[in-house]
A = this chain, B = another copy of it.
Amino acid sequence: MYSVTVRDHVMVAHSFRGQVFGPAQRLHGATYVVDVELARPDLDADGIVVDIGRASEALHAVLAGFNYCNLDELPAFAGRNTTTEFLARVVFDRLVEAIARGDLGPGATGVEWIRVTLHESHVAAAAFEGRVGAKT
């Protein structure tokens, strides 16, 4: 299996509901440094997994959808705890959609598996990974 990984980041405010979150029930915030790994069993005719420039742009566009936002006020996340693991899944789903739309180029349809990791500090991270086809 071959893969490429691109990195970007996003800065948001949010709060959580549930005693398990302790002081994080208050409105606070986070920088998420986001790694996206895209994998496929074979390289395309150019010798790549995917156009890394377009992959970076697609990730940037996905993150722009909620960068510098208070997630508590975004309709897309209403009624949900926007935990790091939840957001990893959001990024995964939106990248799968971007691939389906052709945003990463026609060759990106060969991508079979994606892992999205959000680093929220030097001591904590969360991730979601899955097969691209399995999503539908």
Contact = CB atoms under 8 A, between A and B. Distances in A.
Interface of A: 1-9, 11-14, 16, 18, 20-24, 26-33, 37, 43, 46-49, 51-53, 56, 67-70, 80-86, 88-89, 105, 107, 120-130
A67 B23 contact: yes
A116 to B, nearest CB: 10
Q: How many copies of this kind of chain does the complex include? A: 6
Contact of A47 (B4, B11, B46, B83): B83
Nearest to A105: B20
Contacts of A32: 31
B4 A29 contact: no
Given A3-B127, A52-B124, A11 B29 contact: yes
Contacts of A20: 46, 48, 51, 105, 107
Nearest to A39: B127
A7 B123 contact: yes
